[in-house]
Chains A and B, each alone.
Chain A
């Protein structure tokens, strides 16, 4: 039942708004709204009950194992939430002057420093509000760099075919043409194809390493050389830093610019869709172009650097300071972990993924790259099951829900057919990983003996399989009051 269906005209939840009508207006009739909005009219309890009940219909990290590949669904420490919501932080107006902002600025400055160290880059800007905006900032800096050198022949961005959709979409937003580079059968970039593709028109390449195929790109230095020699820059999609935290730095691999998804590696919550934070780090040559605002420090005083302090900056990409509250959460997490904790993240994320891959292999499942080590994630393909049993990846995924597991990422990356991209993260216990493996085995058995059962899943959730085609065809995007 929708909240609107619980609404009744003239029900006022009085304490939540001023109790008495305002007596002055001064707003002429011509500017005034004629008809009241459809906002629900419910009591406080009705609202609380409605949204409490709704929340219970969700799978989440706090309730379920959620091995969604490329999403790093690990535990979000509650302290990060509680401490980032201290009144002093929540109440700070974005235009609050520096002398009333030293506490907040100190956190932002520290976080910049930590992220510099983690990525091996020269400088970091915290502003971008998610991974995709970080990518935008990065590619816009690449454009600004070439522009500053009057090198306007560079019209193309190279993107491996395994790349996340945000990569090509970002290149387009920065007015670059996208050229796809194929992957070889081991999951590495096809170096010969790359060599053939680069040229004076190459503005740069966008890479993820470990790639979204769940493997580490071994010839990364060679790739960097090829692109750099052609005058292009290297962009690192750092959405998936979890596997290499403390182990290897993008700066050392030769990257010029990187964005990080703090809502993955730094464990800020995903909130059912966001918010995230996508800070960018750059090598020396891109430093002047970093988006503002930045935080600087002089004599133990922190202060902002804005447009006027950074004339070559690509400017600001958010009205104020990006998703400040998310940045605070990431900072708290980083302080809880410390350097030794960061190493451990990579180690145990990798251990969990490799263990899971090994056990699923033993159980007879096919891996996309069976000869590779897994990073923090790995890809399993159900091509065989789809062909022989008529049970495809989506069926497995839905059936996993019945077993109490959120499904891994399905049908991504696009180049592996019938794939599941599985990322257990370091915060899951062996027991839960084993339980997932058992569920996969059980579903495999079901698929062999009772395929229809698997294909009809899920059975135990608030709804059964939803009709996506109908959703897109008979668009119903908002509730309308019944005609009165």
Chain B
């Protein structure tokens, strides 16, 4: 499928049916996208733990089993290896499964089937078998949850050829990127920043319009420093930009949105104007995905950089249980401080 097709708009009858748009949260946008695509493509099915009657522990699949029946929305036995393996099996035989990992910390047993099979079916068989699947993963910290419910582990997948790794940070992007992910003929790991599942509402027309899967979004224009981030830290980063503006510093804010493949051109273009870059992410610093962005800058934007690149990230330790977790996560102050350092230097 080429990019044009991936982004094709709604079949016109579906568009006609679309109800008047109401403001919805990020998680409601997920549900809306799932329902849209299930209506329009009967090979799409949803599977995971508690996704059926219960509608998922975060309610992402609320109402879907009632609407589409237990043959389209399947509760699985409690085993992530099972979910991953069945998903690969379904995808390779004409279905488009959208699997859910209940939490980030429970996806590790899925790594084998994703890396060894989902990411390789097309390659291994020279295109004979493919694996069009989406793995949805509620991701990240900050919701006062128990252990293993707060992890930023995207780096496990960003070095794996054959995958796409996506992370929306607004209701509209959640809707458009999830539609694109489902329509994508190759496997997509779709991280959902759970801390902002219900952070704010936004009008997201249920028009079936997908967003491109290889584009970074400039959320705010600026000229002094480029702040690059993804997931829930988009919130703090935008707040930091506000704060910097209050001090007369103009910060550009980029939501990476799709980590793999990375739209480095958008970042490079911004840095060519600002000369300064602060990368913000929740995951631990060392060998987090921020490293790749900094590396690309060191390779391709060195002559544009007026100051050393800065990374504002989780510390190189596990995210603590919730009494301390907010001290682990990067926050507005650390972002502001890094931006000022970048401006003070060079």
Are A and B co-members of a single complex?
A: no
